[in-house]
Structure 1
Amino acid sequence: MTSGSSGGAPPSGVRPHGAGDLSPAQRWQALAVCLMAGFMTLLDVSIVNVALPSIREGLDAPESVLQWVLSGYALAFGLVLVPAGRLGDARGRRAVFMLGLALFTLASAACGAAQSGTWLVVARVAQGLAGGLITPQISALIQQMFSGPERGRAFGVFGTVVGISTAIGPLLGGLLIHLAGAQEGWRWVFYVNLPLGAVCLVLARRLLPDTPSAGRITVRRLDPVGVLLLGAGLLTLLLPFVQAHQWEGSWKWLLIVPSALLLVGFALWERRWQRRDGEPLLDLSLFRVRSYWLGCLLILFYFAGFTSIFFVATLYLQSGLGYSALLAGAAITPFAVGSGLSAGVGGRLVSRYGRPLITVGLTMVALGLGGTALAVVLVTGRGAGWAMAGPLLIAGLGSGLVIAPNQTLTLDQVPVPSAGSAAGTLQTAQRVGSAVGIAAVGAVFFAHLGRGDWSSAFDAGLLVSVAFVVAALVISLADVVGRRLRPRPAEAQAPDRGHGKRRHGVSGA
């Protein structure tokens, strides 16, 4: 079957080429494969938090190694998102997805088999690089396979996976450690990826479509100078945040200056490269599209507040209240339940309500987190973890109305041939937000902890998380109010380089 053929199932043994070859059932089957891989990569952002005490005991690892078990994955993951998205656009999303999945599975095995702290850190960096290869292909494949309201529903399901994988990680990690024991239980936090990765790799080979615009890899298509400039800029930007507690003194923040220079150099190079008829790593004209730049900015602030919640909550529950890893994970689970329940609804409603739906979600998250801080004040001692359940459920219900709908609106007007690099940029904003949020919340948390009160330290950190969520809410409200106070302008259109008109989907931001 060729890419120009009509819909319907391909003959046995022949894999589909483009999204046009896929029947509705095949599209949703392909999406299920993407979601399985996305669940694995995002789960490994949060599941390791509760495993750190077990890793310390099992490997006799110092604090510096434990920090790099977390930050090494996050750094590597964030650095490759945009280049990986561009690589998928150029070489083929299916091929890059499978490469990343194979590497992720092998790196997970290496993590589980680690015999020293250094071994584990190196394996975690490799795992992060592989996860960064996979993640932008998922959003790009959704862009490629779905359109209109169906695309919103697909992103809604993906949003459910994002919320659940991030929030359920502590519970699953705690359960695995409880079953396997504190000494070796941490290894199963990584080994759990092996059967999932193997099954997903087989299904990806069979079910995922090719990328119609893909071709032979050339220097002109991959923009190696842009890759180096962006990578160096992001590395110098993220390092002082992820090492905020390990690098004492204020000198580390000086790295932000060369980071800014490198990122400005990246923007100038991308314009020059495009004028020379090269294919830029990131088409900067995308940032003339209101829905795109606004969605990237909003999600940066939201992830600064969203992911930092689990960082301080896990520390407070395990170290402050003496919860086991399993109980600490269970106490945070209401957020995951709420997010899972509402994300699918958000995906279905975003085509009808647009940005106001996200505004409602952000309001619920801010109120839920504020209620969580109040619950810890009103209920002291070990009962505080259970008092958090109701407010966390409300925050989770709101979160489900934020992540997937924002991704749908942000990528809606992006031409499909640029979907990978655009999705990589959006997810880079998420990773930068996470690093900034954890550093800021952690600094406030540990400053208050120095006074010896875990409860007040948790409340102070949580209020910083609320402040980031409120900043995202202000951005969303400004957009909603601005659109109502003035005639709706024509959206700036990103050039599609001859790839056809804008696909039908959710209009505006």
Structure 2
Amino acid sequence: MTTTVPAAHEAADPAPAADRRRWTALAVVLTASFMDLVDATIVNIAIPSIQRDTGATFSALQWVTAGYALAFAIGLITGGRLGDIYGRKKLFLLGMAGFTLASALCGLAATPGMLVGARVLQGAMAALMVPQVLAIIHVSFPAHERGKVFGMFGAVIGLGAVCGPLIGALLTEGDLLGLQWRPIFLINLPVGIAGILLGRRFITESRAPRALRLDLVGTALATVGLLMLLYPLTQGRESGWPLWGFVSMAASPLVLAVFVRYERAKARKDGSPLVELSLFKVKTFAAGVGVQLTFGAVSGLFFLIWTLYMQLGLGWGALHAGLTGVPFSLACSAAAGISVQKLVPRFGRKVLQAGALIMLSGALLYIWEAGRYGTAMQSWQMAPAMLLMGAGMGLIVAPITDSAISEVPAEHSGSASGIFNTTGQLGMALGLALSSVAFFGVVGDTGKTGGAAPGASFIDATTHALWWVAGGLALVFGLLFLLPRRVRTQHPAEHAAPQTGAGTERQQPVLVS
């Protein structure tokens, strides 16, 4: 421990050095979080360019985004535990190096299949890197400084939400060196290399005193079960909905049931299952997970179809589409800040329910506008719906985690946060898979060339998919009644995160695109 007045003269010098080191370490891990969040939001805006350049099918485009989300979700809790066991600095640097390499592979991909594979690798590496961030912050800063530090972290999240689509639009439309969409990935190379060099020097190594064991069998069962559902759901339309797809989807719940039984046995055996199933006995947590899964699916579906609607349906350029999304991002960031600081402490659960209704009204307004204006839609006409959806989302995404884990025992709060945020990523992957039915099934073969004269089918497909979004938001509104009316005094999740490696700091990067 340090004191304000050193006991000896020679003890006076290390403190300023340590102070500088931890703030530099903070800059490194916040940059990594920013890079991850921007990468999760930057891709959608470039999807039409990727399609034109590579000739990717609609299902391949879905996997470009869903592959990242699924790999990240499946590896998130395991990545956190690896950091607890082998060292957070080591896993952070390994994840950042892998993320940087995968970014290079994405930027150099010659075929859609190579790009999808590189994106899956990128998501897996993010699952090693991201869970270490809060744990590193926790061990690097004393309790009285963490409030300021986590405020800075929240600012980075908000900045990434606003900057991601704009950076993607500028890089794509700028066509640097004739590379078209590729710079959206290649930009990670200098940032990643700098982060690795600085991280090696300034981040302090740490491990959990009592780390949980790895659950590789549970991870494998969860992966197989989810792929048996998501793969045929994504590929089925282009394959003509073959029989094997329906068999696979029908068998998926059976595999997931085996996963649940194994997790129960694992908990009895050594107390370190991948998923702590006892948490689902807490009604508010189970309801919160339902909200998170549904909200992730709604968000993943909406942001994909929104981008395609603007660029392939309306014929807008990437920069035009990116700037059109600014009102959404700003409204979301502003509402998130107000929600946590002012509204939720006073009105509790009603704030989240108001957010769901505001988002629902924005989706219905969008449906009306798409039907009224068709391919003649202008940015200013879209702005009111975007402001409503952004503000509604901000009212939900900021306080939802605290509400969902508020009745979870303190010793399990980190594990609950990890499961909760993993669920959001799985929801996003599910929403992207559902776009095969909700959007691409209506588009059909129209617009596959990404030409300048899109067909009216994009308008019909967008309207159809928005009804799915509206239905999902109505379900979210209903599930929110199961959350507590008020959030009682919290046990901060960040205090539990280092012991669980749960990846609690992943806010909702899937939600802004």
The 5 Å alignment of 1:255-334 reads 255-334=248-327
- For the 8 Å contact 1:153–1:348, the answer to whether it is kept is no
Q: Which residue of 2 aligns with 1:505?
A: none
Q: Which residue of 2 aligns with 1:443?
A: 437
Of residues 320, 326, 344 in structure 1, which corresponds to 2:337?
Answer: 344
Q: Which residue of 1 aligns with 2:238?
A: 246
Q: 1:385 to 1:146 in 2, by over 3 A?
A: farther
Letter in 2 for 1:236: M
Q: Which residue of 2 aligns with 1:503?
A: none
How many angstroms apart in 1 are the aligned matches of 2:389 and 2:322? 16
The 5 Å alignment of 1:118-267 reads 118-138=113-133, 165=160, 169-180=164-175, 183-202=178-197, 204-205=199-200, 211=206, 213-214=208-209, 221-249=213-241, 251=243, 252-267=245-260
- For the 8 Å contact 1:89–1:421, the answer to whether it is kept is no
- For the 8 Å contact 2:439–2:464, the answer to whether it is kept is yes
Q: Which runs of no fewer than 5 residues in structure 1 stay unpaired?
A: 17-22, 500-509
1:396, distance to aligned residue in structure 2 (A): 1.0
Q: Which residue of 1 aligns with 2:80?
A: 85
Letter in 1 for 2:463: D
- More divergent stretch after superposition (152-161 vs 176-185): 152-161
The 5 Å alignment of 1:339-378 reads 339-349=332-342, 350=344, 353-378=347-372
1:176, distance to aligned residue in structure 2 (A): 0.6
Task: Tell me, yes or no, if structure 1 residue 461 matches structure 2 residue 461.
Answer: no
How many angstroms apart in 2 are the aligned matches of 1:468 and 1:10? 59
- For the 8 Å contact 1:171–1:327, the answer to whether it is kept is no
Q: 1:92 to 1:229 in 2, by over 3 A?
A: same
- For the 8 Å contact 2:25–2:203, the answer to whether it is kept is yes
3-state SS of the aligned residue for 1:388? helix
Q: Which residue of 2 aligns with 1:471?
A: 475
Letter in 1 for 2:69: A
Deviations 1:378-413 (A, max 9, x none): 334333433111221222122122112112333456
1:124, distance to aligned residue in structure 2 (A): 1.8
Deviations 1:253-290 (A, max 9, x none): 43233322222222222222222235222222222334
Task: Tell me, yes or no, if structure 1 residue 109 matches structure 2 residue 109.
Answer: no
Of residues 4, 18, 43 in structure 1, which corresponds to 2:38?
Answer: 43
Calculate percent identity across the aligned residue pairs: 37
Q: 1:229 to 1:439 in 2, by over 3 A?
A: closer
Q: 1:147 to 1:365 in 2, by over 3 A?
A: farther
- For the 8 Å contact 1:88–1:420, the answer to whether it is kept is no
Q: Which residue of 1 aligns with 2:92?
A: 97
Q: 1:394 to 1:93 in 2, by over 3 A?
A: farther
Of residues 420, 429, 452 in structure 2, which corresponds to 1:426?
Answer: 420
Deviations 1:144-166 (A, max 9, x none): 78999998997776666556645
Q: 1:366 to 1:63 in 2, by over 3 A?
A: closer
- For the 8 Å contact 1:85–1:133, the answer to whether it is kept is yes
How many angstroms apart in 2 are the aligned matches of 1:280 and 1:133? 18
- For the 8 Å contact 1:157–1:344, the answer to whether it is kept is no
How many angstroms apart in 2 are the aligned matches of 1:137 and 1:395? 32
Aligned residues between the structures: 473
Deviations 1:282-307 (A, max 9, x none): 22222233443222211111111122
1:215, distance to aligned residue in structure 2 (A): 6.4
3-state SS of the aligned residue for 1:221? coil
How many angstroms apart in 1 are the aligned matches of 2:273 and 2:330? 40
1:103, distance to aligned residue in structure 2 (A): 0.9
How many angstroms apart in 2 are the aligned matches of 1:57 and 1:449? 17
How many angstroms apart in 1 are the aligned matches of 2:83 and 2:474? 35
How many angstroms apart in 2 are the aligned matches of 1:156 and 1:146? 13
Letter in 2 for 1:95: K
Q: Which residue of 2 aligns with 1:502?
A: none
Letter in 1 for 2:224: A
Deviations 1:404-433 (A, max 9, x none): 211233345667876665444222211221
**RMSD of the alignment, in Å?**
3.9
Of residues 361, 381, 392 in structure 2, which corresponds to 1:387?
Answer: 381
Q: 1:233 to 1:31 in 2, by over 3 A?
A: farther
1:327, distance to aligned residue in structure 2 (A): 0.9
- More divergent stretch after superposition (380-389 vs 461-470): 380-389
How many angstroms apart in 2 are the aligned matches of 1:67 and 1:212? 37
- More divergent stretch after superposition (261-270 vs 413-422): 413-422
Give the TM-score, by structure 2 length: 0.78
The 5 Å alignment of 1:409-424 reads 409-411=403-405, 421-424=415-418
Q: 1:113 to 1:444 in 2, by over 3 A?
A: closer
How many angstroms apart in 1 are the aligned matches of 2:145 and 2:473? 28
Q: 1:436 to 1:396 in 2, by over 3 A?
A: same
Deviations 1:448-489 (A, max 9, x none): 4459443332222112112112211111134356x89xxx9x
Give the TM-score, by structure 1 length: 0.79
1:32, distance to aligned residue in structure 2 (A): 5.5
Q: 1:440 to 1:69 in 2, by over 3 A?
A: closer
Q: 1:478 to 1:227 in 2, by over 3 A?
A: closer
1:250, distance to aligned residue in structure 2 (A): 5.7
Q: 1:95 to 1:15 in 2, by over 3 A?
A: farther
- More divergent stretch after superposition (273-282 vs 425-434): 273-282
3-state SS of the aligned residue for 1:276? helix
Letter in 2 for 1:269: Y
Q: 1:367 to 1:148 in 2, by over 3 A?
A: farther
Q: 1:228 to 1:203 in 2, by over 3 A?
A: same
How many angstroms apart in 2 are the aligned matches of 1:41 and 1:408? 23
